[in-house]
Structure 1
Amino acid sequence: MQYCRKMERFETFFCVILLFCPFKSVLTLSVEPVCSKFAYEEQLLEKMVRMEFFVENMQKDVQKSITNVMDGMNGIKEKNVEITDNLSEKIEKVDLKVENVTNTMNGLKDKNTEVADNLSELHGKIQEVELKVENVTDTIKGIKEKNHEITDNLSVLHEKIENVDLKVENALDTMKGIKEKNSEVVDNLSELHGKMKKLELKVENIVDKIDRNSNDIEEIKASKTPAVAFNARVAVKYSGSSTVVFSIVILNEDKAYNDKTGIFTAPIDGVYQFNAHLCFARGIEVEYYLKVGDRSIASGEYIVPQGATDTKCTSFSAVALVRKGEKVRVGGMSFKNLDQEIDDWNSFSGVLIQTV
């Protein structure tokens, strides 16, 4: 019984060792019920052999693990040496760059200090220049005002000089004329004195003729053709296609032209001549006419090219027998077709040639 209890305690101890040791081999111990001393020693010997075998395998595994760990440690050591060398080299380069950057920053700092000093000095000079410019501006302003005053005075003086020159020129012309006239008078006095007597006789004859012809003159006045004529220009916007209205009247003898309607109304029967001058806008094709009542006495067509660079104008006229009360007008186009400039007039005129 004593051997059996020792054997059980040994087995329990051995099992605890196997439980906490991470070995690959697993040792299984069987519990034997035999409790004799011989059986116990035999089993103990067998267990010891197994234990020795197990320990030997465990040593091999431990040795192999140690070898692997040492190889890994050597590789890590070599890698660390390589990394340390690289880091040292890089640290040296970084130190060099840091030193260069530090030197550059110090140089920039010195340069900035110098620039700040120069800017301060330049700012002071700019203020001085601004003050001088302000003074110069005030001086120029005063000079400009003085120049305006001088210019006005010069204009007045120039105008006065021109008036004096004109008066002097007129006076010289007058003096020259007087001198020439005096010379002519002096030269002709003797001749005039001799002609005075002849003129007296001629005056008497003329008076007689005037008396004899006074009746003839009255008859001529009674039979004289009356003055009927007009001339108007500048077409107005409310002109229609049937009648162009010319609003500015230059001549209107006998008041026969109406500047509100653009129509001439014949005051008496007679032979009249009518004229028209029209200027057209670019890129159009228009028709135009002169009409007495409803009958045309002149008509035509005019084409202005689209690419024309200046105003195009045309003139037309006609002679017609017009009875008293008949109306004469220019038409054929609307106001939007007309173009009028300072030097390009639209106009309408007419004159009585002979009464009938």
Structure 2
Amino acid sequence: MRAAISLLVLLLSMCGVQTESHGTDASTQDVSTELKELRDMVVELRATLQHTRHDVKVLETVNVAMKERLMASEAENVAIKQSLAVSEGKVEALETENVGVKGRLVASESKVEALERALQDTKAEMKTLVENLMKKSAAQEAELTAVKTRPAATETEVEDLENEIRAAPKVAFSAGLTDSGYIVAGSTDLNLVFSRVITNVGEAYNRKTGFFTAPVRGVYYFRFTVADTLDSRYIVIRMYKNRECLMQLQEHGTDGQLHYLSGGLTLQLEKGDTVNMVLPAGYRLYDNYVYNFCTFSGFLLFPL
């Protein structure tokens, strides 16, 4: 723009020189016309220059604004990149967590399958149990029906048993030996008479002879206890059946204290068989009426 203005000024100068040198009116008129045109052109150029300067200022302003927007865009781009990096980290974390969740899901599915199988097994067991219970219930109902249909027979059996129990012999006895202190056998065996009768159901024991006589054929149990003060001596006792020795017990003592000797037998007896206790020759026993140190007992277990 400045070059164009300089060119116009040069043309004007040349035109002035030519006017002075030639001095003709025609030339002056042409030069005036050209000058006028040049002036108009300069005015137009000035106006164009002003517009151009304005446009330049506008462009500079726009350029500054564009630079600011560019800087803002770049800053925003950095922020977006940072946000994207954070998002990518979160995505990676979520993917890792997703893998763990998938593993747990697979494990849970396996557990669910196992529980379903266990449930099926339990259902089968319950079904079998219910069927067995129903069978047992049916059997019990049948048994109950059978029991209900035979009350009369049962009542008859009960009455027969009661009558049999009432009719069965009742035999039991216990007796103490004496209340006189020492009982001594001399040079011969001594049949012991347990004269202090405590119990004698059935009267099978004879308190005068000391013999038990079986009233019925059956199985009986007999037991005895005897005592003596032993000072370097023995205590000896025997049990007899039908005057035949079945058992002998003995004990030795040296302390002068009271010693006890006990025993018992289960015997099968025929009606009329006898059982008694015998003190061998040369031995002794001790008893009194308060404590019954020496006793003889027996009872019928059951008849045969």
Report the structure, 1 or 2, having the larger strand content.
Answer: 2
The structure carrying a bigger helix percent of its residues is 1
TM-score, normalising length from structure 1?
0.37
- The TM-score normalised by the length of structure 2 is 0.43
- Which structure's CA Rg is the greater one? 2
